Amino acid sequence: MKPALDDIATLVGLQLGSGTVEAGDLLVQDLGAVSADIVNIVVALEDKYGIEIDETALADVNTVADLHRLVEELV
Amino acid sequence: MAPAAFKTLIEMLSFRAGQTPGKAAFSFEARDWTFEEIWEGANRIAANLQDLGVTDGDRVVIAIANGPEFFFAFYGAQRAGAIAVPVFPGFGPDRLMVYAGLCGAKAIVVPTGMPQELLARLRQIGHSNHVLVTDVAEAPATGRGHAFHEIEPNDIAFIQYTSGSTGDPKGVQISHHNLLTNIRQMIDGMDIGEHDVFVSWLPVYHDMGLILKTMVPFYLGLDLHLLATDLRDTSIWLKSIRKNRGTFTAAPDFAYRLCLRQIRNPGAHDLSSLRVALNAAEPVRYRTIADFEKAFRLKNVVTPAYGLAEATVGVCMWPPNKPCKVDDHGHVSVGRPFRGVEMTIVDNGEKVATGTIGEIAISSPALPSGYFNNRKANEALFWKPGHILSGDLGYVDDDGDYFIVGRKKNTINQSGRTIYTQEIEEIADTVPLVRYAVALGIDRQRTEGEQIYLFAEIREDETLSTGDYEEIIRTIVGKMFADLGIRPARVYLVRPKTIPLTYNGKFQHGRLKSQYLDGTLVKSGQILYPEY
């Protein structure tokens, strides 16, 4: 399944309980995610897209769009 | 003889049949069943069992639903010197034989009129397992002419199998002395007297329904209105309370919630005769008590209590007719221990300070000796001699009032914090369209340890869209974060009746967890959303 930015934003919104997630939102500062939430988002993405995300790759992930790029590379 | 002098249940029943033969032991389906009839029925079954070769200490499985035949068989087995083993009557032949095997039963008693093919199948597998199968109708017309041994107070009256969430049943062996002691403790602690009228639909084959709701009224010779356990229509229960001016009823929390869902016109139900509507056997929710009392215009009637089979049954109860006490986390106090009962909060084998959460240990003169034929479980059961570990977590406040916060096993350890699944489930239950929710702790081998996976049953509604599902999930997550400061790792919306329940309505967390982890839940198509 090709990852659509909208789908990723919806997934992040479900994880964080937010209905208004935008591509440029910062996961921590804008959306209030804590480290456990980030891990849970990663696991949900892995389950949804059948991928494995290396935790070291998360260092460069700040926004929803960053997550989308990461998933696109792995699918 | 005064009840205080009863030494065994058999003595109690024989006394009632002798002194007040025509008094109804209970009413069931528009018919009174007198103490004489129950005693006669018990003697007939005892005679039949004796003729079949059942003798002192043999186990006899009783697979009979609420109604007179249960009592014939339950007391008949004891009259014959045997140990009664009541089990869920809805079990199929194979499951019945599992229980017969667990307790090494000599015989199984089934009700009159069991479907022929089922009975034939049961007899067939009974034969190959050396277990006799008999139905109530096979008993002779009278028990006269048979001599029975005297029963001793320390003889085991029955074995109560507890339906653990792991599907690993353990049988508590309960003596006549245990039962009579706990009956007296409950009568004292609940202030039960001749003014009381009992109404019960609780299963008679399980401890609260059996001991509190039938043995207590038998002991005092009170009126009891017994109903079938069918909860598809809770108005039958409420109607019986109104019609019979019931003063004392009991049920687990879910039954009160069920009433609120099923009864469209609570105003039409006059429950004003109720003195106590005991709420026990599963976590008590303040929300349930408040909503139920508001809907049915009651005040301080729904009364939280606590007990477990490993302590015979009753341990403590909040005083009736006194406003509930609720702590900052929404836990409702279950009051103070009954007379002679001691509750200790322990952690790592040591008593902890007031206000600190730990496992509840119990000592009581009504404490049974442990599980039948299960050394390993018995070793884990005792904190120290005379004190059992309940498996429940709780604390005591400065006033000496006890609070239960959850099952020891139903906790999630997330990032060093202990979370009680019950708290999460209660929050999810308040979200519209959610029927029930169950929270599990699942470790996905990432860095943060166990995470919360929530499974919420959603009401059947074909018009719900993906967008609606997403909104329900966001609401649950948002509420949980607002209340607890944490978010679940995953929320699954599932179809009604996905969450496995024990036959007495408790969530089977362990079973759901294995269904999820081994993939059968996903394959079953029971998950509505999300697909991953």
- Say yes or no for a CB contact (<8 Å) between B446 and A37: no
The domain limits of chain A are 5-74
Q: Write the single-letter amino acid at B451.
A: Q
* Cβ pairs A/B, distance under 8 A: 57
DSSP classification of residue B231:
-
**pLDDT, position B165:** 45
As a whole number of angstroms, the distance between CA B20 and CA B29 comes to 22
- Say yes or no for a CB contact (<8 Å) between B532 and A44: yes
Q: Which of B202, B188, B200, B192 is nearest to B275 (CA)?
A: B192
**Largest interatomic CA distance in chain B:** 74
Q: Is pLDDT above 60 for B447?
A: no
**pLDDT, position B426:** 87
CATH no. for B3-151: 3.40.50.980
| DSSP secondary structure string for all residues of B206-249 | SHIIIIIIIIHHHHHT-EEEE--S--S-THHHHHHHHHHT--EE
CATH number (3.40.50.1110, 1.10.300.10, 3.30.300.30, 3.40.630.30) of B411-529 reads 3.30.300.30
As a whole number of angstroms, the distance between CA B384 and CA B381 comes to 9
Q: Which of B449, B209, B419 is nearest to B329 (CA)?
A: B419
Token look-up 């990663």 returns: A42
- Say yes or no for a CB contact (<8 Å) between A48 and B486: no
Q: Convert the pLDDT of each residue in B167-195 to its tens digit.
A: 478 999 999 999 999 999 999 999 999 99
What fold, for B174-407? Rossmann fold (3.40.50)
Alpha-carbon distances, residue B66 vs A35, B13, B179, B393, B446 (angstroms)? 53, 18, 20, 32, 50
Q: Which of A40, A72, A23 is nearest to B454 (CA)?
A: A40
Q: Write the single-letter amino acid at B111.
A: P
CATH no. for A5-74: 1.10.1200.10
CA angle B488, B492, B496 (to 5 degrees): 135
The domain limits of chain B are 3-151, 174-407, 411-529
As a whole number of angstroms, the distance between CA B452 and CA B427 comes to 13
Residues B456, B457, B460, B465: what is their CA dihedral angle, to the nearest 10 degrees? 20
CA distance A43 to chain B (A): 8
Q: Convert the pLDDT of each residue in B98-135 to its tens digit.
A: 899 999 999 999 999 999 999 999 999 999 999 999 99
Look at residue B184 and give its three-state secondary structure.
helix
B472 touches chain A (CB under 8 A): no
Q: Convert the pLDDT of each residue in B14-48 to its tens digit.
A: 999 999 999 999 999 999 999 999 999 999 999 99
Please check whether the two domains, B3-151 and B174-407, share a CATH topology.
yes
Q: What is the mean pLDDT of chain B?
A: 93
As a whole number of angstroms, the distance between CA B488 and CA A75 comes to 25
Kindly indicate the confidence band of residue B416, based on its pLDDT and cuts at 50, 70 and 90: low
**pLDDT, position B297:** 97
As a whole number of angstroms, the distance between CA B297 and CA B285 comes to 18
Task: Determine the distance from the C-alpha atom of residue B172 to the mean position of all C-alpha atoms in its chain, rounded to a whole number.
Answer: 13
| DSSP secondary structure string for all residues of B464-483 | --HHHHHHHHHHHHHHHHHH
Q: What are the residues of chain A with a beta carbon less than 8 Å away from any beta carbon of chain B?
A: 10, 13-19, 35-37, 39-40, 42-44, 47-48, 55
Q: Which of B475, B467, B507, B502 is nearest to B491 (CA)?
A: B475
Q: Distance from first CA to last CA of chain A, Å, rounded?
A: 8
Q: Write the single-letter amino acid at B488.
A: P
- Can you say whether the dihedral through the CA atoms of B235, B239, B240, B246 is positive or negative? positive
Q: Is pLDDT above 90 for B489?
A: yes
Q: Is pLDDT above 80 for A29?
A: yes
Residue B196 CB: number of other CB atoms within 10 A?
A: 20
CA distance A39 to chain B (A): 7
